[in-house]
């Protein structure tokens, strides 16, 4: 892990992975992230905009498993590479996209591996 | 859009079922009225009446229950015929005054029970369970036939009263083998080790059959020991064997019950334990206590089996401790001291162990109901309930005691009874301490218990 | 460094993430299995839904060792009973043969193809092809034993040791002591036991290498193991994907744990290779004999019919049953749509759940007077979890497609605290007594006296419950009274559960989705539903599926309370939704076993509405009586006996549940008002004129209809093969771990429904196994747009899992969805 200094802040260089996948395949990605011991991640529902046109429309969609979701995970490069390796196989049969990027975070302990 | 309509009947069940159920209730009512009004027929001991009434009652309940429960069974004619014949055969051997009739009816009941365990004819596991039962009964029934033949030959009569009158004069070389043979027969029916397997793997039987089996059939062993009490009194070695086998079964069965994750086989483990305790009481000579146990446990277990469909529902762990921490050691200590005192005072008779375990139960449960976090009113109600049950229990025991008559002469000295008591209390303390600390059993023991009576089709 | 390390050099051993992905995919061979206390219907073939229906049935049959169709003998019995008719069967046969021309082409002396096929369908003996072994392999029995012990939820007093290590490692720890393991795995197993990785994912990776599984074949290899214990595997899926985390506390387990154990046994040579299904014999000789032909004709046409797989014959029957239902409903809807009625304000509007059991009750109620009924999902759109007063865990009161967004607690209603307290006291007492009894009957010193002391009481209780169940229930209620109405869901505690906007949103959702005619009637009843069964492991299967397998009264109470709030009504008015000022909303619960209707919170109904309420109550009672009478006919019993059965501890069929379900109708009630749907249709109210953008239709088809499809498939497959996809005979079931049932002494956790819920006493099916037919009353273009925008609908309609018929409101024409993703003329 690289540590960079910028304007007095200590920043830690990590990798970010973003995964867009059908909501019904959510658990697949969750299992991969757990297997790579990525300690935490964020999930955004209905990224296609389905149902988010307004409050009412969002609430009348009675099915969490339709539409697309996006996962955002930040961790050390090795763990993210692990996730990407698993995803590559998964996407042989399932639809989905992945983005990897470098990020800098302020508190590296937030993104520590889980035991 | 048309659905099919079934022919309608105002009563559930098929004709054979209704016939059997009604007949059982009628026989129970008529025979019951006769005994109550005119007294027991000559030569019929209270033992026979009690077990006969129990069997009839449970069979009648089970048959009536089955009218709904078995409504979709494709072989109801066969089912009810066997159920009725089973009740009749038990009735025949408990009331029989003749060795030959007793033997034949006993054999018949075993054949019928095994057939009911294999009631689902297309199911390989059910057929294998039935075969296993038959094999266990073959040994037990062989022993019975040999034992009865030996007695009949020795007494020169097939009349049970004559045989029993002759037993005190029999030489030990006859009395001991005969008594041991009857003990083997009893152990096979009571599913005591090493015969527990058939009962522990008999869940292929429809639920009502299990209810009848655990209430009416497994008791046969106890019946045999009490019916032939004079023989056993003439063969103390056999009584000692009964005591030991019973003790082992009682403790082992509790272990099996504790580890079972399925409701029916947990009940079966409990039955092994209860039958062990009952046979142990017979060995000690506490006939009244044993008979009362047979009757009350039969009702208790049939009720639990018929209600076993209610066990759905996941209980959160950890569950609150049901008995306050101090209650169990305190109850154990009080019981043990009381036992010691009674023995010192020379009151250590055969009933000592069952009686004092009853006291330990009452003390621990009362302490549990009073020393709980429940509101005061609830605690009073609970304690009242416990006291009522204790009173009911005591009354039942006293009634049976009066009917059955005196216990056998002491088999073991008073200090040994206290030792026996201590064995139960010790096992209890260890068990409760483990449960309260939520500590699992040692792996070897756990695996042994969970595999007890395991059904291994290949090995059978 | 900005590049990831190159991934071209493939390690022979898969990484943990790769294995995790494979395991997750293989896990989908089985659907999650909900515990019976909150039973949820699922499609046992959910993992095969990407295949066309018939292919999926065949693939699943080979994977699970199941049948592909109901036996012909059963279908013929249904034909004889008039549940399928011969004309429809002939039509289905003709379609299957490729149309009129091929069907009526000559296939032998004076014989057409359809003659031959009809003979095979109706007369020829059924070929025996399926070797149906119900005996699990010893390896499966071994794993089932340890799954049963591991997943126990409080049945055993002494739990399995080392559960906190996870399923895989806990079994590894015990297996050395287990003679079953030694017998199964032998010396190889003992050695492997010491050498295998302790991490299940790594163990699977190593196992895949050891078993020389080819790249690309891993998922299928693992799926085979998942399919061998579908019950326990499904339980794992429920636990990891659908349960609150506390259920797994102290005993974690994933599908990887189970698969790592399977691989260990497989590596030790303890898993037999999969059996190959035998091919069905050609029916040529039988056909020739049937038609009195001396020789078997060798014509191509003859061969084509004689070689048809037996499973296909079952499918033709199924299609015939579907034609019967489709034609009957379609014809009626086409006619009805052309004569819409004049709207008048009814005396009351009653909103029921879409459940098929609501339909006959609604019809019975409508017959009692000027009452209008509607259908809406029984959770009333509220994504809540309910913390019952005195319960240790929360109940999810919503369809399993949704995660709860609000936690609602139950508390004494204001002014009724004493009532609630009395109940709570009784409850505490009963629980305490049960606890004392439970621990006394397990104690090594106390078990004996406990049996003796409770025996006489048990004898009395047993006799009473058997001979006089209704009396026994009344007596029992004195000790453990039923949950009183005084305990109400609390919306305005320290922190309100919903904001005003949210409340208005849920109210508006119901109005928009159902097209509830405005202004509303003086009384509007929201009726949830629940079943009533005693000593019945499947009791929850009679409750409301939309409420997560619970009775739905609470959800109704919440929405009724919301709709009675002045502020909510004002907000709705701003949105153009006018609730009449004199409207009062009342919550109710329909008991589907007894057809009694409980009205909640009657005290809050103003005096001005007392007469309206009295009239409605009288009508509800009459409707209940009429419907009970109708259902008693179907059950072959008297109406009074249904009330007895609901209280009897030996009753295995208190009601038919959702048996018979066949259709899902989306449209206004007047379309179906004059049609007796015989309790076979889900009815969702919908007004196409109020749904310009199709969003309401989207919601209806992607949520309630999907749930209806799960239910339909559960009933279909549980009937088709009751041993594999159902739970078999109830009388030999054995409750395990508080979770579910096994058959007899043990084995896999049973999935699906028991035989008694689907079949008559004489063994013929009551439920006709057929696919759901969805009817939508909406413009064709709108329906096409909705289906196109939602993958799941394309899959269900396009792959033949659900039939779709659209009734165009303007023309009254019916169009049927074809495989090629368009609506064709019917």
Q: Give B66's Cβ-side CA count (13 Å radius).
A: 34
The pLDDT assigned to B6 comes to 55
Q: Do chains A and B touch (3 or more CB pairs under 8 A)?
A: no
* Residue B426: predicted pLDDT: 95
pLDDT tens string C687-700? 999 999 999 999 99
| SS3 letters across C561-624 | HHHCCHHHHHHHHHCCCCCCCCCEEEEEEEECCCCCEEECCHHHCCHHHHHHHHHHHHHHHHHH
**Whole-angstrom Cα distance, residue C725 to residue C56?**
14
Span C30-63, pLDDT tens digits = 999 999 999 999 999 999 999 999 999 999 999 9
Q: Which of residues 539-558 of C touch B (CB under 8 A)?
A: 539-540
Contact by Cβ (8 Å): C30, C226:
yes
pLDDT score of C734: 97
Nearest to A64 among C17, C401, C790 (CB): C401
Which chain C residues have a beta carbon less than 8 Å from that of B459? 183
Minimal C-alpha gap between C162 and chain B (Å): 8
Please list, in sequence order, all residues whose beta carbon lies within 8 angstroms of the beta carbon of residue C494, skipping any fewer than 6 positions away.
none
pLDDT of A48 > 70? The answer is no
Average pLDDT over residues C639-666: 97
Shortest CA distance from C696: residue in chain A: A60
Contact (CB<8Å) A32/C21: yes
CB within 8 Å: A61 and C501: no
Residue B347's pLDDT is what? 82
Residues linked to residue C362 through DSSP beta bridges, in sequence order = none
Res. A49: pLDDT tops 60: no
pLDDT digits (tens, 9 = 90+) for C615-640: 999 999 999 999 999 999 999 999 99
Size of interface B-C (CB pairs under 8 A): 389
C529 labelled ligand-binding: yes
Interchain contact C/B (3 or more Cβ pairs less than 8 Å) = yes
CA distance B46 to chain C (A): 18
Distance between C83 CA and the closest CA of chain A, angstroms: 35
- Of residues B371 and B235, more confidence is placed in B235
* Residues of chain C contacting A31 with CB distance shorter than 8 Å: 20-21, 23-24, 254
Q: Does domain A14-111 have CATH number 1.20.1440.230?
A: no
DSSP string, C386-438: EE-TT-SS-EE-S-TTS---EEEEEEEPTT-HHHHHHHHHHHHHHHHHHHHHH
Q: Which of C11, C17, C242, C703 is most worth mutating to test chain A (most A CB atoms within 10 A of its CB)?
A: C17
SS3 C353: strand
Q: Does A43 touch chain C (CB under 8 A)?
A: no
At C823 the pLDDT is 53
- Among C95-109, C140-154, C353-367, which is the least confidently predicted range? C95-109
Lowest pLDDT segment from B201-210, C129-138, C239-248: C129-138
For residue B213, the 8-state DSSP code is I
| Distant-in-sequence, close-in-space partners of A85: CB < 8 Å, separation ≥ 6 | C7, C15, C17, C18
Is pLDDT of B459 > 50? no
Report the residue of A16, A31, A84 to disrupt the C interface, i.e. the one with the largest count of C CBs within 10 Å.
Answer: A31
**Residue C450: closest CA among chain B residues belongs to which residue?**
B361
pTM of the predicted protein model: 0.95
Predicted confidence (pLDDT) at residue A115 exceeds the cutoff of 70: no
Average pLDDT, chain B: 91
Residue C600 has pLDDT above 90, yes or no: yes
Chain C residues lying within 8 Å of B378, measured CB to CB: 425, 428-429, 432
Any known ligand binding at C353?
yes
Task: Provide CB contacts within 8 A for B241, sequence distance 6+.
Answer: B180, B183, B283
Asked if C633 reaches chain B (Cβ–Cβ under 8 Å), the answer is yes
- C705-724 pLDDT, tens digit per residue, is 999 999 999 999 999 999 99
Rounded (5°) CA angle B19-B199-B305:
55
Question: Which of C15, C399, C698 is the closest to A82 by Cβ?
Answer: C15
What is the average per-residue pLDDT within C159-170? Answer: 96
Nearest CA in chain A to C510: A60
End-to-end Cα, chain C, rounded Å? 63
Domain boundaries, chain A: 14-111
> Which of B205, B286, B289, B299 is the best residue to mutate to test the C interface, defined by the most C CB atoms within 10 Å of its own CB?
B299
Q: How confident is the model at residue B14 (pLDDT cuts 50, 70, 90)?
A: confident
What does the pLDDT average to over C403-418?
Answer: 91
Q: What is the pLDDT of residues B312-367, one digit of tens each?
A: 988 875 544 555 567 888 899 999 999 999 999 988 888 899 999 999 999 988 88
Q: Does C478 touch chain B (CB under 8 A)?
A: no
Q: Which of B241, B233, B234, B129 is nearest to B185 (CA)?
A: B241
ipTM of the complex: 0.95
Distance (Å, whole) CA C50 – CA C577? 41
Q: Judge: A63–C703 Cβ closer than 8 Å, yes or no.
A: yes
CB atoms within 10 A of CB C286: 18
Of C17, C401, C505, the CB nearest to A82: C17
Would the CB atoms of B261 and C328 count as touching at under 8 Å? no
For residue C315, the model assigns a pLDDT of: 96
- Are B199 and B191 a contacting pair, CB within 8 Å? yes
Question: Which residues, numbered 377 to 406 in chain B, qualify as contacts with chain C under a Cβ-Cβ cut-off of 8 Å?
Answer: 377-378, 381-382, 385-386, 389-390, 392-393, 396-397
* pLDDT tier, A51 (very low <50, low <70, confident <90, very high otherwise): very low
- Percent residues over pLDDT 70 in chain C: 97
- Which residues of A are less than 8 Å from C403 in CB distance? 64
Is C640 annotated in some ligand binding site? no
Confidence of residue A113 (pLDDT cuts 50, 70, 90): low
For residue C379, what pLDDT band results from cuts at 50, 70 and 90?
very high
Is C7 part of the contact surface with chain A (CB cutoff 8 Å)? yes
Return phi, psi of residue C137, to 5°. Answer: -70, 155
Under 8 Å between Cβ of C739 and C36: yes
Confidence of residue B4 (pLDDT cuts 50, 70, 90): low
**Which residue has 């002014």 as its token pair?**
C415
Instruction: Locate the chain B residue with the closest alpha carbon to C433.
Output: B382
Q: Are C555 and C528 in contact, with CB atoms under 8 Å apart?
A: yes
pLDDT at C362 over 90: yes
Question: Coil, strand, or helix at residue C738?
Answer: coil
- Summarize pLDDT for B379-433 with one digit per residue, the tens: 888 889 889 988 988 898 899 988 888 888 889 899 999 999 999 999 999 999 8
Q: What is chain A's length?
A: 115
pLDDT at A4: 53
pLDDT tens readout for residues C130-155: 555 557 889 999 999 999 999 999 89
**Which chain B residues in 308-337 lie under 8 Å from chain C, judged by CB atoms?**
308-317, 319-320, 322-323, 332, 335
To the nearest whole Å, the CA of A56 is away from the closest chain C CA by 6
Task: State the Cα–Cα distance between residues C293 and B267, nearest whole angstrom.
Answer: 62
pLDDT at A52 over 50: no
Chosen from A19, A45, A85, A115 to mutate, greatest number of chain C CBs within 10 A: A85
Q: Is C298 on the interface with B (CB under 8 A)?
A: no
pLDDT at A6 over 70: no
Report domain extents, chain C.
16-40+136-267, 346-380+499-657, 417-479
Instruction: List CB contacts (< 8 A) between C502 and chain A.
Output: 55, 59
Checking if the pLDDT of B457 tops 80, the result is no
Percent of chain C topping pLDDT 90: 81
Which residues fall within 8 angstroms of residue C793, CB to CB, at 6 or more apart? C701, C702, C786, C787
Instruction: State the best of A58, A82, A89, A92 to mutate against chain C, taking most chain C CBs within 10 Å.
Output: A89
CA distance B11 to B25: 16
| Beta carbons of A98 and A91 less than 8 angstroms apart | yes
């Amino acid at each position: 892990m690289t540590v960079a200094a910028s304007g007095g802040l200590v920043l830690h260089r990590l990798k970010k992975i973003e995964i867009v996948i059908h909501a019904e395949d959510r658990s697949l990605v969750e299992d991969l992230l757990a297997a790579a011991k990525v300690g935490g991640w964020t999930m955004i529902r209905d990224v296609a905009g389905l149902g988010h046109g307004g409050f009412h429309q969002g609430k009348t969609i009675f099915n969490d498993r339709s539409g697309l979701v996006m996962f955002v995970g930040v961790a050390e490069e090795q763990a993210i590479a692990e996730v990407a390796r698993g995803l590559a196989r998964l996407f042989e049969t399932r639809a989905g996209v992945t983005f990897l990027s470098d990020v800098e975070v302020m508190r590296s302990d937030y993104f520590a591996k889980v035991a | 859009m048309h659905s099919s309509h079934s022919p309608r009947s105002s009563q559930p069940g098929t004709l054979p079922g209704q016939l059997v159920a009604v007949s059982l209730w009628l026989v129970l009512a008529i025979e019951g009225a006769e005994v109550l009004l005119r007294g027991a027929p000559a030569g019929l001991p209270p033992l026979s009446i009690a077990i006969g009434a129990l069997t009839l009652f449970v069979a009648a309940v089970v048959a009536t229950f089955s009218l709904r429960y078995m409504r979709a069974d494709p072989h109801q004619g066969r089912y009810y015929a066997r159920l009725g014949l089973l009740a009749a055969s038990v009735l025949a051997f408990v009331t029989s005054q003749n060795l030959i009739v007793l033997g034949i009816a006993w054999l018949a009941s075993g054949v019928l029970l095994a057939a009911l365990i294999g009631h689902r004819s297309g199911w390989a596991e059910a057929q294998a369970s039935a075969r296993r039962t038959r094999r266990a009964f073959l040994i037990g029934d062989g022993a019975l036939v040999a034992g009865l033949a030996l007695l009949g030959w020795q007494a020169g009569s097939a009349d049970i009263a004559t045989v029993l009158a002759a037993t005190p004069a029999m030489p030990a070389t006859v009395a001991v083998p005969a008594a041991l043979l009857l003990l083997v027969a009893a152990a096979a029916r009571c599913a005591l080790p090493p015969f527990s397997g058939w009962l522990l793997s008999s869940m292929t039987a429809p639920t009502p059959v299990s209810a009848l089996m655990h209430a009416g059939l497994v008791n046969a062993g106890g019946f045999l020991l009490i019916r032939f009490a004079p023989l056993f009194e003439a063969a103390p070695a056999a009584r000692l064997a009964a005591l030991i086998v019973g003790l082992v079964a009682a403790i082992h069965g509790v272990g099996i019950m504790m580890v079972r994750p399925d409701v029916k086989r947990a009940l079966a483990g409990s039955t092994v334990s209860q039958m062990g305790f009952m046979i142990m009481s017979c060995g000690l000579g506490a006939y009244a206590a044993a008979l009362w146990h047979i009757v009350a446990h039969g009702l208790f277990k049939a009720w639990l089996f018929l209600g076993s469909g209610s066990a759905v529902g996941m209980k959160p762990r950890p569950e609150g401790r049901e008995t306050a921490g101090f209650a169990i050691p305190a109850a154990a200590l009080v019981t043990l001291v009381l036992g010691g005192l009674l023995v010192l005072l020379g009151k250590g008779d055969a009933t000592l162990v069952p009686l004092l375990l009853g006291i330990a139960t009452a003390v621990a449960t009362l302490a549990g109901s009073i020393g709980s976090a429940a509101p005061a009113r609830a605690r009073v109600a609970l304690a009242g309930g416990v006291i009522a049950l204790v009173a009911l229990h005591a009354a039942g025991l006293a009634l049976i005691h009066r009917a059955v008559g005196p216990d056998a002469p002491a088999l073991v000295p008073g200090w040994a009874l206290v030792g026996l008591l201590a064995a139960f209390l010790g096992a209890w303390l260890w068990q409760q301490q483990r449960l309260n600390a939520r500590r699992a059993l040692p792996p070897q023991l756990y695996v042994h218990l969970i595999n007890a009576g395991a059904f291994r089709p290949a090995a059978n | 460094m900005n590049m990831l390390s190159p991934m071209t050099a493939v390690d022979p051993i898969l990484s943990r993430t790769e294995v995790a992905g494979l395991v997750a995919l293989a896990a989908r061979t089985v659907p999650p299995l909900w515990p019976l206390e909150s039973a949820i219907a699922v499609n046992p073939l959910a993992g095969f839904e990407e295949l066309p229906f018939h292919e999926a049935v065949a693939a699943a049959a080979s994977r699970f060792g199941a049948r592909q169709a109901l036996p012909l003998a059963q279908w013929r019995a249904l034909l004889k009973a008039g549940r399928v008719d011969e004309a429809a069967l002939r039509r289905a046969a003709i379609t299957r043969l490729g149309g009129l021309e091929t069907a009526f082409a000559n296939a032998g002396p004076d014989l057409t193809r359809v003659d031959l096929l009809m003979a095979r369908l109706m007369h020829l003996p059924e070929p025996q092809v399926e070797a149906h072994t119900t005996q699990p392999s010893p390896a499966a029995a071994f794993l089932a034993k340890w799954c049963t012990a591991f997943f126990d939820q409080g049945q055993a007093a002494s739990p399995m040791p080392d559960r906190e290590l996870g399923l895989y490692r806990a079994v590894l720890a015990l297996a050395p002591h287990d003679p079953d393991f030694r017998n199964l795995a032998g010396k190889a197993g003992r050695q492997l036991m010491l050498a295998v990785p302790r991490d299940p994912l790594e163990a699977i990776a190593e196992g895949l290498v050891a078993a020389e599984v080819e790249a690309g074949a891993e998922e299928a290899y693992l799926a085979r193991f998942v399919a061998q214990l579908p019950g326990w595997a499904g339980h794992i899926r429920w636990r990891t994907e659908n349960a609150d985390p506390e259920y797994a506390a102290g005993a974690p387990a994933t599908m990887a744990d189970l698969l790592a154990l399977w691989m260990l046994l497989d590596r030790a040579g303890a898993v037999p290779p999969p059996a190959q299904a035998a091919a069905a014999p050609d029916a040529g000789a039988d056909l020739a004999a049937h038609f009195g032909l001396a020789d078997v004709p060798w014509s191509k046409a003859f061969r084509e019919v004689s070689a048809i797989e037996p499973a296909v014959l079952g499918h033709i029957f199924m299609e015939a049953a579907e034609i019967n239902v489709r034609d009957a409903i379609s014809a009626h809807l086409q006619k009805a749509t052309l004569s819409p009625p004049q709207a008048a304000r009814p005396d009351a509007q009653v909103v029921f759940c879409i459940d098929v059991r609501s339909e006959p009750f609604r019809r019975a109620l409508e017959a009692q007077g000027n009452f209008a009924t509607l259908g809406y999902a029984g959770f009333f759109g509220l994504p809540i979890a309910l913390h019952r007063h005195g319960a240790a865990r929360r109940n999810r009161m919503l369809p399993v497609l949704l995660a709860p967004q609000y936690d609602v607690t139950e508390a004494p209603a204001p002014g009724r605290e004493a009532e609630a307290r009395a109940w709570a006291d009784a409850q505490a007492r009963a629980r305490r007594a049960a606890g004392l009894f439970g621990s006394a009957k397990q104690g090594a010193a106390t078990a004996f006296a406990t049996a003796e002391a409770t025996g006489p009481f048990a004898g009395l209780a047993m006799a009473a419950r058997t001979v006089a169940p209704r009396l026994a229930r009344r007596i029992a209620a004195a000790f453990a009274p039923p949950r009183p109405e005084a305990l109400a869901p609390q919306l305005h505690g320290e922190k309100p559960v919903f904001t005003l906007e949210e409340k208005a949103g849920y109210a508006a959702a119901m109005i928009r989705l159902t097209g509830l005619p405005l202004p509303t009637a003086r009384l509007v009843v929201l009726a949830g539903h629940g079943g009533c069964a005693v000593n019945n492991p499947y009791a929850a299967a009679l409750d409301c599926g939309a409420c997560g397998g619970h009775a739905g009264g609470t959800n109704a109470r919440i929405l009724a309370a919301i709709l009675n709030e002045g502020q909510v009504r004002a907000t709705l008015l701003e949105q153009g939704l006018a609730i009449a000022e004199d409207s009062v909303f009342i919550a109710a619960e329909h008991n589907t076993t007894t057809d009694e209707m409980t009205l909640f919170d009657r005290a809050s109904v103003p005096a001005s509405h007392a007469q309206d309420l009295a009239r409605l109550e009288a009508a509800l009672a009459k409707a209940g009586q009429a419907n009970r009478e109708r259902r008693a006919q179907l059950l072959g019993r008297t109406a009074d006996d249904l009330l007895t059965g609901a209280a009897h501890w030996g009753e295995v069929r208190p009601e038919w549940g959702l048996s018979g379900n066949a259709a899902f109708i989306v449209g206004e009630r007047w379309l179906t008002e004059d049609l007796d749907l015989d309790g076979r249709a889900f009815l969702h109210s919908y007004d196409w004129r109020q749904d310009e953008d199709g969003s309401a239709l989207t919601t209806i088809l992607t949520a309630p209809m999907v749930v209806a499809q799960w239910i339909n498939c559960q009933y279909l497959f549980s009937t088709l093969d009751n041993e594999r996809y159902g739970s078999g005979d109830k009388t030999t079931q054995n409750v395990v771990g508080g979770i579910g049932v096994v058959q007899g002494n043990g084995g896999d956790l049973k999935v699906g429904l028991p035989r008694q819920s689907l079949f008559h006493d004489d063994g013929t099916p009551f439920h006709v196994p057929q696919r759901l037919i969805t009817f939508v009353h909406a413009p064709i273009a709108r329906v096409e747009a909705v289906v196109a925008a939602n993958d799941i609908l394309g899959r269900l309609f396009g792959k033949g899992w659900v039939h779709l018929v659209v009734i165009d409101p303007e023309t009254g024409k019916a169009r049927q969805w074809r495989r090629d993703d368009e609506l064709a003329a019917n």
